[in-house]
Amino acid sequence: MYSRNTFDAADPQWLAHRYEPGRDQLLYRFVPRAMHADGPFLTDELVGAQPSHVADRAAGVAAARAHAAPLHFIFHSAFCASTLLVRALDRPGVAMGLSEPVLLNDVTGIRRRGERTGADLARLLDEAMALLARPWGAGESVVVKPSNILCALQRPMLALRPDARAVLLHAPLRVFLTSVARKGLWCRLWVRELLEGLLRDGLVDLGFAPDDFFRMSDLQVAAVGWLAQHRQFAMLVQQFPDRVRTLDSERLMADPAAAIGRAAALFGLPADGVGEHAAMARHSKTGAAFTPSDRAREHADAMAAHRDEIEKVKAWALVIAERSGIALDLKAPLLP
């Protein structure tokens, strides 16, 4: 019997939260299943006060590999209801959903700092996925929604897990820009941070010189980040045509039961009961009651307040997309 008072590296409740490469150790936090619904992401804001344990990486990985569940992914480009989707697929006896585990962010940081490369980096990424794939119950799969800062690692993750499948979820360009405008200053700063990471990852090939980004507005920077991620999704479809499917947030919200059912089928999960999941009736970040009508009203208000800026940036981004050969409509749709 697993317990919060006794560390067991095979117990998935002991979340492999952080990796310290200097000491080659893992920091675990005890995060029971029910707690995952208390916040949108598995960051310190949610789990930082939980009981902890530090263990050598090799021992933790060995225990995880001895208890492995099928692993699948929801890759997303932000502000597209990805938290709702992973929550809706999280059903005891079927699958456990992990929302943005920080352990994978640590691997991205190690890659960006050049501390691991090539086969060493691939081994570390493989081990991180093994640690997250410990089963929560007999026959259960694990569905991981990584942060979108892992954009450069999406292809390696699928290559290292040939049985894994992925939903590639995005918001349409205008919806994405509206979300950035609506969320205010913190989000305008965040899209610049996102672009900085995409540049460091070598994923922005849109014909711009480095100085050009300093002359862009916040929404232009947001559009560049969206285009770079959209190109990455198109490449994933091309490389893994039988294992990935694409979905946009508006299709998801228009018929969530159908979209969630199709996602479950893609992952080999039973789809019965997904239409009644509580995640579809509350705000994915706050937990408050929140309907698709509430979401549409928020976007309409933001569009009315920022219409001129949004429309001009969208028109500009469409020119960049055409010039760069980026199709706005992705192939391999999850919904027909």
Q: Tally the domains of the chain.
A: 1
User: What is d(CA 116, CA 67) in angstroms, rounded to the nearest whole number?
Assistant: 26
Please provide the DSSP assignment of 219-275 as one string. Answer: HHHHHHHHHHHHHHHHHHHHH-TTTEEEEEHHHHHHSHHHHHHHHHHHTT---TTGG
Q: What DSSP assignment string belongs to 148-189?
A: GGGGGGHHHHHHH-TT--EEEEE--HHHHHHHHHHH-HHHHH
pLDDT surpassing 90 at residue 10? yes
Residue 56 lies in a domain: yes
Whether residue 232 lies inside any domain: the answer is yes
- Residue 93 domain-assigned (yes or no): yes
Residue 5 lies inside a defined structural domain of this protein: no
pLDDT, one tens digit per residue, over 95-129 is 999 999 999 999 999 999 999 999 999 999 999 99
Digit-coded pLDDT (tens) for 77-103: 999 999 999 999 999 999 999 999 999
Distance CA 195, CA 200 (A): 9
Specify the pLDDT at position 288. 64
Decide the pairing of beta strands 52-56 and 25-30: antiparallel
By percentage, how much of the chain surpasses pLDDT 90?
A: 87
Determine the average pLDDT of the residues in 147-164: 98
Residue 329 lies in a domain: no
Assess if residue 73 is contained within a domain. yes
- Residue whose tokens read 């799969």: 141
- Residue 63 confidence (pLDDT) above 80: yes
* Spatial distance between the Cα atoms of 212 and 170, rounded to a whole number of angstroms: 26
Residue 330 lies in a domain: no
* Tokens at 111, concatenated: 């890659």
Instruction: Specify the CATH number for the domain of residue 251.
Output: 3.40.50
Domain with 96 in it: 14-324
What is the percentage of the chain residues whose pLDDT exceeds 70?
93
Burial class (CB within 10 angstroms; exposed 0-12, middle 13-18, buried 19+) of 186: exposed
Q: Angle, nearest 10°, between helix axes 185-200 and 173-183?
A: 130
Residue 2: inside a domain, yes or no?
A: no
Closest to 180 (Cα-Cα) out of 229, 223, 231, 148:
223
